[in-house]
């Protein structure tokens, strides 16, 4: 889950809005102590619990930097998935991506001390019989809604399920369609799950396949994570995912550049979420104590089209690149809009300190009517070898934060069986504790014209 979207943001001074320089410890205008960034509210269902993936323990894996942009100083960067001749990652405006002075930004360090020790997963033993039905074992009934009258409660296995979805014997809510969703199309698969600790699934996804004007295929995956501290996060994520997907299905066949299309899709998603704020919705009675909060969600998307891999995001949902040949280093392709990422980027804290802070996961960018300023991030890559694109929410990457950990969690045959791969990754998160909703989309990337344009 994305954390509450409290303003914890640079580069504006929280006190006087004066623009800040990375590395400033105090505001140059008003002297505000920048280390005292306001704390987010106490809503912290997900403490980042890094369960080191097997085989990812050695901290010696090559640190992977933010994808380099041509013409910027990339001296000490290794960009394993890109070669100099490849298309550089650029931002939405076509400008080079953030460059050299942010050398302090180092992500994907495996084994980074993140969050609290994973004690929580141990304290959910089966000492009460009504434990969460494990979505991997319980049959979810996509077509079962009509047969509600005949259904037997999954919790007590004796009561009949009433028309309002609760067991008439033990009162337990029955699994809803959205608790576990799967979808597979040619070239992309996605799985979303409620997890083990949340009462509903506030994540959403959309996957689709279309064609560019030249007839070549384009594959799209969008993953959204509702902000729990806002009202109706489930509706926000569903609206954003479907709006972004529809926008892409309209713009890609029309010949829009995928990166521009992604930018527009994020704007479309943002509008869809903003529109929810005006509409009171039906879920209000359940959200009474927080309904003053506009619906909000994160978004991350990936497009594979014309040999390009375009990613776009707002918030802390991520895209990872896992090469098919595992001897090549994997990489993370997105940079979170989160408090920790900003603190590290601003040089105020090192990564270990930043991620150990309880504010680490407070997001600083999101889609929603109360977003301060929407800055869609997009980047474009031209991979030179086949690999797998992992698009996921923090419900997964909390259990495989570093790129190497994520790569280790991806089963070897995921390239051929993306749906199975996505299921395995969701299982990885559930095994780690399933503290949040888990959503992952996998897009196998095949290189058709191998070596084209490269030395």
Partner 1 sequence: MANFSKSSVPQFSVEVYQNEFLPEGGRDVNAIVTVTSTGGGTTGGVPLAAGAPASARVPGRAPAAAVVLMVDCSGSMDYPPTKMRNARDATAAAIDTLRDGTRFAVVAGTHVADDVYPGNGRLATAGPQTKAQAKEALRRLSAGGGTAIGTWLRLADRLLGAAEVDIRHGILLTDGRNEHESPEDLRAALDSCAGRFTCDARGVGTDWEVKEVTEIAGSLLGSADIVADPAGLAADFTRMMENAMGKEVADVALRLWTPVGAEIVFVKQVAPTVADLSGRRTEAGPRAGDYPTGSWGDESRDYHVCVRVPEAGIGQEMLAARVSLILPPSPSAGGVPQTLSQGLVRAVWTDDMAASTSINPQVAHYTGQAELAQVIQQGLDARKSGDFDGATAKLGRAVQLASASGNADTAKLLSKVVDVVDAATGTVRLKARVAEADEMTLETRSTKTVRVKK
Question: Measured between alpha carbons, how far is 333 from 38 in angstroms, rounded to an integer?
Answer: 29
- Is residue 167 part of the contact set for partner 1 (CB under 8 A)? yes
Cα distance between residue 91 and residue 46, in whole Å: 30
Q: Does 132 participate in binding partner 1 (rule CB under 8 A)?
A: yes
**Does 289 interact with partner 1 (rule: CB under 8 A)?**
yes
With contacts defined by CB under 8 A, how many residues of the chain interact with partner 1? Answer: 36
Q: Distance of CA 365 to CAs 157, 315, 407, 420, 424, Å?
A: 44, 5, 26, 32, 29
User: In the numeric block, which tokens belong to residue 453?
Assistant: 């344009």
Residues 6 or more apart whose Cβ sits within 8 Å of residue 455: 83, 85
367-392 per-residue burial string, b: 16 or more CB within 10 A, e: under 16: bbbebeebebbbbbbbbbbebbbbbb
Stretch 301-320 residues interacting with partner 1 (CB under 8 A): none
Cβ proximity to partner 1, 169 vs 328, nearer residue: 169
Per-residue contact flags (x/-) with partner 1 for residues 202 to 241, judged by CB under 8 A: --------------------------xx------------
- Rounded to the nearest whole angstrom, what is the least distance from the CB of residue 38 to partner 1 in the complex? 15
**Only segment of 38-46, 260-268, 309-317, 391-399 that touches partner 1 (CB under 8 A):** 38-46
Q: Does 398 bind partner 1 (CB under 8 A)?
A: no
Instruction: Give phi and psi for 47, each to the nearest 5.
Output: -85, 135
- Which of 23, 41, 142, 253 touches partner 1 (CB under 8 A)? 41
In the complex, the smallest distance separating the C-beta of residue 25 from partner 1, rounded to whole angstroms, is 30
Per CB under 8 A, does 138 bind partner 1? no
Residue 130 as a binder of partner 1 (CB under 8 A): the answer is: yes
Check: CB of residue 268 under 8 Å from CB of residue 204.
no
The residue among 171 and 255 lying less far from partner 1, judged by its C-beta, is 171
Does residue 58 interact with partner 1 by CB under 8 A? Answer: no
Q: Which helix (H) or strand (E) holds 276?
A: helix 258-278
The span of 49-57, 123-131, 210-218, 376-384 binding partner 1 (CB under 8 A) equals 123-131
Q: Is 178 in the site for partner 1 (CB under 8 A)?
A: no
Among 76, 122, 285, 325, binds partner 1 (CB under 8 A): 285
Q: CB-wise, 167 or 319, nearer to partner 1?
A: 167
Strand partners, 302: 221, 311
Whichever of 60 and 163 has its CB closer to partner 1, that residue is 163
User: Beta strand 203-211 with 318-323: parallel, antiparallel or unpaired?
Assistant: unpaired
Q: Candidates 9-17, 40-48, 180-188, 404-412: pick the segment binding partner 1 (CB under 8 A).
A: 40-48
Q: Tokens in use for 83?
A: 């070669």
Q: Which of 83, 106, 151, 172 binds partner 1 (CB under 8 A)?
A: 172
Closest to partner 1 by CB, 125 or 215: 125
| Pick 133 or 376: Cβ nearer partner 1 | 133
Interacting residues with partner 1 between 420 and 449 (CB under 8 A): 435
Residue 198 contacts partner 1 per CB under 8 A? yes
Q: In the complex, what is the shortest distance from the CB of residue 39 to partner 1, in angstroms, rounded to a whole number?
A: 12
Stretch that binds partner 1, among 192-200, 261-269, 291-299, 361-369 (CB under 8 A): 192-200
Q: How many CB atoms lie within 10 A of CB 199?
A: 10
Enclosing H/E stretch for 323:
strand 318-323
Cβ–Cβ under 8 Å, residues 1 and 198: yes
Q: Dihedral of CA 44/52/345/327: which sign?
A: negative
Smallest CA-to-CA distance from 391 within 446, 297, 312 is with 312
Residue 195 in contact with partner 1, rule: CB under 8 A: yes
> Rule CB under 8 A: is residue 131 a binding residue for partner 1?
yes
Question: Cα angle at 201 between 195 and 207, to 5 degrees?
Answer: 105
Q: Which of 72, 78, 99, 169 binds partner 1 (CB under 8 A)?
A: 169
Long-range contacts of 34-40 (CB under 8 A, 24+ apart): 34/10, 34/346, 34/348, 35/348, 37/8, 37/339, 37/343, 37/359, 38/6, 38/7, 38/8, 38/14, 39/6, 39/358, 39/359, 40/3, 40/4, 40/6, 40/8, 40/339, 40/359, 40/362
Work out whether 2 is an interface residue with partner 1 (CB under 8 A).
no
Q: Cα-atom radius of gyration of the chain, to the nearest Å?
A: 22
CB of 390 to partner 1, least distance (A): 25
Looking at the Cβ atoms of 254 and 286, the one nearer to partner 1 is: 286
Please state, in angstroms and rounded to a whole number, the distance separating the CA atoms of residues 423 and 425: 5
What's the closest the beta carbon of residue 435 comes to partner 1, in angstroms?
8
Of the ranges 124-132, 340-348, 356-364, 376-384, which one interacts with partner 1 (CB under 8 A)? 124-132
Binding site for partner 1 (CB under 8 A): 41-45, 124, 128, 130-132, 156, 159, 164, 166-173, 194-200, 228-229, 285-286, 288-290, 435
């Amino acid at each position: 889950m994305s954390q509450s979207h409290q303003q914890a943001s640079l580069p504006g001074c929280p006190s006087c809005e004066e623009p800040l320089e990375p590395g400033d410890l105090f505001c140059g205008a008003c002297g505000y102590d920048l280390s005292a960034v306001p704390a987010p509210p106490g809503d912290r269902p997900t403490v980042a619990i890094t369960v080191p993936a097997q085989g990812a323990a050695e901290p010696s894996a090559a640190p992977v930097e933010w994808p380099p942009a041509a013409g910027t100083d990339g001296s000490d960067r290794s960009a394993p998935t890109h070669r100099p001749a490849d298309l550089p990652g650029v931002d939405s405006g076509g400008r080079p991506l953030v460059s050299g002075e942010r050398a302090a930004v180092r992500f994907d360090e495996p084994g980074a001390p993140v969050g609290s020790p994973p004690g929580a997963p141990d304290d959910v033993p089966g000492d009460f019989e009504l434990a969460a039905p494990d979505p991997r074992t319980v049959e979810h009934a996509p077509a079962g809604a009509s047969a509600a009258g005949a259904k037997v409660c999954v919790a007590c296995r004796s009561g009949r399920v009433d028309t309002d979805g609760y067991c008439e014997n033990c009162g337990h809510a029955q699994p809803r369609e959205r608790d576990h969703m799967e979808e597979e199309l040619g070239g992309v698969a996605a799985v979303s799950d409620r997890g083990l600790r949340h009462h509903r699934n506030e994540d959403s996804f959309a996957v689709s396949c279309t064609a560019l004007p030249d007839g070549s295929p384009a594959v799209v995956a969008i993953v959204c994570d509702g902000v729990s501290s806002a009202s109706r996060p489930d509706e926000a994520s569903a609206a954003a995912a479907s709006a972004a997907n529809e926008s892409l299905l309209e713009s890609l066949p029309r010949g829009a550049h995928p990166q521009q299309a992604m930018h527009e899709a994020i704007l479309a998603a943002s509008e869809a979420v903003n529109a929810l704020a005006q509409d009171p919705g039906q879920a209000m009675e359940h959200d009474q104590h927080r309904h003053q909060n506009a619906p909000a969600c994160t978004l991350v998307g990936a497009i594979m089209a014309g040999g390009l891999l375009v990613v776009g995001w707002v918030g802390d949902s991520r895209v990872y690149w896992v090469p098919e040949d595992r001897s090549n280093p994997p990489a993370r392709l997105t940079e979170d809009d989160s408090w920790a990422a900003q603190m590290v980027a601003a040089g105020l804290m090192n990564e270990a300190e930043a991620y150990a802070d309880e504010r680490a996961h407070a997001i600083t960018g999101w889609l929603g009517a109360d977003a301060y300023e929407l800055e869609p991030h997009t980047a474009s890559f031209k991979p030179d070898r086949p690999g797998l694109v992992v698009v996921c929410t923090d419900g997964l990457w909390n259990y495989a934060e570093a790129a190497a950990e994520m790569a280790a969690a991806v089963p070897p045959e995921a390239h051929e069986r993306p749906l199975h791969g996505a299921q395995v990754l969701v299982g990885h998160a559930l095994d780690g504790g399933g503290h949040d909703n888990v959503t992952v989309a996998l897009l196998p990337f095949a290189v058709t014209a191998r070596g084209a344009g490269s030395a």
